[in-house]
Amino acid sequence: MSDNGKTTVRMTIDGRSIDAPVGATILEVARANGIDIPSLCYHPGVEAFGACRLCVVEITKPNWEGWKKLVTSCLYPVEEELIVSTRSEEVIENRRVVLDLQLARVPDSDVIRQMAAKYGIHDTSYEKRKDADTCIMCTICVRVCEAIGANAIATLSRGPEKYVDVPNIDACIGCGACALSCPTDAIPMTEENGVRHIWDKDFELVRCEVSGEPIGTPEQIKHFAEKSGLPESYFTKSDRQRKKETAADLARVMLG
Ligand code: SF4
Ligand code: FES
């Protein structure tokens, strides 16, 4: 709620008048209204970081006398009378520069190649990184791991040498959330014969006690049970199975 007690603000995005919830960011409101703003380091499950600058948009207000500025939409909160352009010339040029630079960083990333191609960039104008992996240093994996409470992943070194790794492999619970949330598939994870392999470590896979489908690692189940206060048995069933049981419980209650 804003200082004056209002729960929404009236703003404009690409000419559309929108009532946006107070406290939301421009990116959240745009996406909730079907307006596309590309992003690389934004993940809805973790705090925004503002690192990639791909989500930049142009803003102004009626009393700014024509003055405009570029802001990162994943961090900038909506405001009354804000006028946002997600497709101005400056915004498009900013995206082109960001993607050109990212293409130099990860020339072999299909995701970045496809995004850059949408803006007419088929080869980078910068020097390509040698022996490059596909990590764009968005740090989503680090923030997701932190949010889960495992704190196994960290950024190491500085400047252009910076990279992500698992300095304390014992802290890794093998949940795979980092690999699943990585926008460029830079964290290899395989599952074979009941074993998950990630960060150069093997984790046994526990199977759902009802359906038999693999549901996670023992370390992951123990960790989630400790964090949530729920019994480990709650995590030894697949999501699908739990939903089925909840639906059956509900039906029993509703039908008496
Ligand atoms: S490994 Fe993936 S999620 Fe982690 S920083 Fe690199 S690109 Fe981002
Ligand atoms: S998504 Fe906003 S700065 Fe990366």
Report whether residue 182 contacts ligand 2, using a CB cutoff of 6 Å.
Answer: no
C-alpha–C-alpha distance, residues 73 and 56, integer Å: 6
- pLDDT of 227 > 70? The answer is yes
Output the residue whose Cα is nearest ligand 1's atom 7.
Answer: 135
| Per-residue model confidence (pLDDT) at position 72 | 98
Residue 45 has pLDDT above 90, yes or no: yes
Would the CB of 150 count as within 6 Å of ligand 2?
no
User: CA of 225: how far to CAs of 214, 218, 235, in Å?
Assistant: 17, 11, 7
Atom of ligand 2 lying closest to residue 48 CA: 2
Q: Give the Å distance between the CA of 255 and the centre of ligand 1.
A: 48
- Does the pLDDT of residue 71 top 80, yes or no? yes
Report how far ligand 1's centroid is from the alpha carbon of 174 (Å). Answer: 16
Evaluate: CB of 236 within 6 angstroms of ligand 1: no
- The response to whether residue 40 sits with its C-beta less than 6 Å from ligand 2 reads yes
Q: How far apart are CA 92 and CA 56, in angstroms?
A: 9
Q: Is 41 in the pocket of ligand 1 (CB under 6 A)?
A: no
Coil, strand, or helix at residue 255?
A: helix
Which DSSP string do the residues of 139-189 spell out, in sequence order?
Answer: -HHHHHHHHHT----EEES-GGG-EEE-S-GGG-----HHHHH-TT--S-E
Question: What does the alpha-carbon distance between residue 139 and residue 182 come to, in Å, rounded to a whole number?
Answer: 9
**Closest atom of ligand 1 to CA, residue 137:** 5
Give residue 250's pLDDT.
63
**What's the pLDDT band for 2 if we cut at 50, 70, 90?**
low
CATH number of 8-87: 3.10.20.740
Per mean pLDDT, which range of 63-72, 77-86, 106-115, 211-220 is the poorest?
A: 211-220
C-alpha 35/C-alpha 42 separation (Å) is: 16
pLDDT digits over 123-163, tens only? 999 999 988 899 999 999 999 999 999 999 999 999 888 99
Report DSSP letters for 60-72, one per residue.
E-GGGTT--EEEE
> Using a 6 Å cutoff on CB, does residue 236 contact ligand 2?
no
* pLDDT score of 249 more than 80: no
Q: Which ligand is nearest to the CA of 163?
A: 1
Annotated domain spans of the chain: 8-87, 139-204, 205-256
Q: Are 197 and 190 a contacting pair, CB within 8 Å?
A: yes
Please say whether the beta carbons of 27 and 49 come within 8 A.
no
